[in-house]
Chain A
């Protein structure tokens, strides 16, 4: 249970940084990964804060690794550094075990897909896809064959003679994928590839990307600010904020055990509540949870609560413990689930200076959900929360 509480303090995060360094070392020895970034820093001339600061991660061979973060978190810059489109001020980029930090973009053998597609507008679809091969002096016959294969792979067979301006956004981006794949890159770098598309096409292309990846088994780095996309497509997440890597891990690990307050608030749509350590327990409003490690009595806590972490207590339950009551402020039915906002009764907690509102997500099918309406009084239990010691300020 303790592990589920996701109670890592900052001391824990440093441990993880050390563990990460060890992982990198091991990777170098056994070359389990295809791509590694070590301690990369990039500062733009006029920016005060560095765009990327001390970023490190390893991408496993044949996997999809997502760089996830809000805009301005440095994820795109980091991807461009990997591609050789930006030169880092410090740090190393390793491709297949070789240091490529000083290698120009032309010779890195990476495939890059841009959010803006960046197709060559003056060339036909065929010539766009053929570009990398014709640069390499591949015979025309071979090129034509390969382009046909690739267009079939991206489900655009027969589109060769059209021009980019005649295609829809989704079609253009698939041409861009084919163009990047044509040169048989060692890694595929995707910079918000679906960011310019509408929601439905985005979901379709996400599924298509998974299929494509299953067929090609190409090591892929995906930059995205869309956590749903990242959780759905990738084997590994690298969560970034303000130029730093906040956490790396599988989507499940990151979701279940956020390493930093930023990750806890960014992934999974959590609400932040204030808490305190009292009598050996974490007090979050009227709730009690086991405290995180490395905290002392009286320490302030930051608690991140997701709607799924709260459950409704059945009114039949006798002598409910640690289950305060509250009034439903709003009720939103979103597809299969019902999202409630509950304002907790102040109760005996004398130091509760303001009302606590808490999100509750329940299944639409649950007998409780259908009966509840705005204004009803419910009893809640907090199953878990991500807890962090409040930094002394």
Chain B
């Protein structure tokens, strides 16, 4: 393996192939290229840009005054804050858990490793609704731990802890899935070099392994965050829809929609969309920082 290999998501693939040759080899008929390009752009427009635009068009449909009134709703603010709170708790926890799981799977051989890999994927393979139901079965009043929780006067389902747990479960695989192939491709020679140079296990991890994983971590965190903010099914089951307390932004959108308050629903949806866009911008800024830290032009 080439140790200088950068992250597979490298921003700047540096081909050494002479460009002339490459063009000769890769030249497609103009028509085919046009058709492919049109298909890709058409698909993107139809399934990504159009709905995105529709959200804002609908939200502003009755004029700015209505829109501002709708987004000034304190209930919307409460749900937006809850969504941010859940994401702020879930993303760091899943980053740590994901790094741990990926490290364990990529770097060690042990019995039951395949089972563990399958379990990491489990949240992706079961329906979020079932994931939510599992938590009801565990922590609900008649659930496995129900009596115990009742005795201590603690509530997990139909409360914020339940929402956090359900979101943690649903978004767990993102970071680990992103890191396992990275770690497996990189091998351990650099880590071993750090050890022979006197680094402790933690120093090795922080100064050698983590920097190599930063792109994977960044993407894992973005995906995890997007899903944490947008999760509907599992959260809907454990939320209990207590207005102002356990209603996240996606649930808020649904409630307004069910009440035929379309302007309100789309206004809330626009806030959620803006949060997603803000995440993308944050990612861009972070990526830019990382590249700059490595000097422009260096393999990212």
Contact = CB atoms under 8 A, between A and B. Distances in A.
A165 B298 contact: yes
Contacts of A121: 3-6, 190, 212, 299
A106 B299 contact: no
B45 interface: no
Interface string A118-151: 1111110000000110011000000000000000
A132 B299 contact: no
Interface in A104-127: 104-108, 110-112, 114, 116-123
Given A116-B1, A180-B196, 20 more contacts: A83-B196, A84-B196, A85-B195, A105-B192, A106-B198, A116-B3, A117-B3, A118-B3, A118-B189, A120-B193, A120-B208, A121-B6, A123-B211, A131-B207, A136-B198, A163-B294, A163-B298, A166-B298, A179-B197, A183-B197
Given A116-B1, A163-B294, A163-B295, A122 B212 contact: yes
B15 to A, nearest CB: 14
Chain A interface residue number, banded: 35 or more
A119 B3 contact: yes
A114 B4 contact: no
A112 to B, nearest CB: 4
Interface residues of B, number: 28
Interface string B279-300: 0000000000000001100110
Contacts of A122: 211-212, 214, 294
A116 B299 CA distance: 18
15 contacts: A45-B109, A105-B192, A105-B196, A112-B196, A120-B193, A121-B212, A122-B211, A122-B214, A131-B199, A131-B207, A135-B197, A136-B198, A163-B299, A179-B193, A182-B197
A88 interface: no
Contacts of A136: 198
Contacts of A111: 196
B72 interface: no
Contacts of A131: 194, 197, 199, 207
A105 B299 contact: no
A225 interface: no
Interface in B1-21: 1, 3-6
A84 B193 CA distance: 11
Contacts of B211: 120, 122-123
B39 interface: no
Interface string A233-258: 00000000000000000000000000
A120 B204 CA distance: 11
Top 7 closest A-B pairs, CB basis?
Answer: A132-B197, A118-B189, A165-B4, A122-B211, A112-B196, A118-B193, A105-B195
A118 B4 CA distance: 9
Interface in B81-128: 109
Contacts of A83: 196
Nearest to A105: B195
B198 A112 contact: no
Interface of A: 45, 83-85, 104-108, 110-112, 114, 116-123, 131-132, 135-136, 161, 163-166, 172, 176, 179-180, 182-183
Contacts of B200: 106
B154 interface: no
Contact of A132 (B3, B4, B6, B198): B198
Contacts of B194: 120, 131
Given A120-B190, A122-B211, A163-B298, A172 B196 contact: no
A84 B198 CA distance: 12
B133 to A, nearest CB: 41
A122 B199 CA distance: 16
Contacts of A112: 192-193, 196
Nearest to B299: A165
B198 A135 contact: yes
Contacts of A117: 3
Nearest to A161: B295
Interface in B25-78: none
A45 B108 CA distance: 13
Nearest to A182: B197
Interface in B190-239: 190, 192-200, 203, 207-208, 211-212, 214
